[in-house]
Amino acid sequence: MFDFTKDPLKDLRAFALAHSEALQNASLLLGGQPALRRTQGLLDDITSVHELTRRVARELDALHQLLSLHNVHDPDRIEAGCFADIDPASPIVADLCLLSEALSDQLLCLRNDTSIQDFKLLQAA
């Protein structure tokens, strides 16, 4: 009669599982150990929560900012130094772009889900 099995984070969990290693590698490359630990915590949270929490939304936004190079212009941030060490001709650059776009797509899907519209923390991808 009623469908109580709707899981608004199903696609996000599938994405996190499929791209877990790539997300961790990208985080380490672009933000060092602090970013890696933060991403690992986010991946753990995604597998354990049943709905999008403010913390998970905030951490998703932080990961998106990291992958989209939001803070590489700030010399006081670790991202600037990590980004400077990457060879622009390296094939990893294309992989990082694809991973960032895939995460943007996931955030867009989450923002459009009517069951979690209250979370304005998911910034425009």
Collapsing DSSP to helix, strand or coil, 109 comes out as helix
* Token pair of 15 as six digits: 């994405």
Closest of 22, 98, 112, 107 to residue 64, by C-alpha: 107
pLDDT at res. 124: 46
Residues constituting the chain: 125
Percent of the chain predicted with pLDDT > 70: 86
pLDDT digits (tens, 9 = 90+) for 60-108: 999 999 999 999 999 999 999 999 999 999 999 999 999 999 999 999 9
What pLDDT shows up at residue 102? 97
Q: Which helix (H) or strand (E) holds 98?
A: helix 91-112
> Nearest-CA neighbor of 55 among 41, 66, 72?
41
CA angle 27, 87, 99 (to 5 degrees): 40
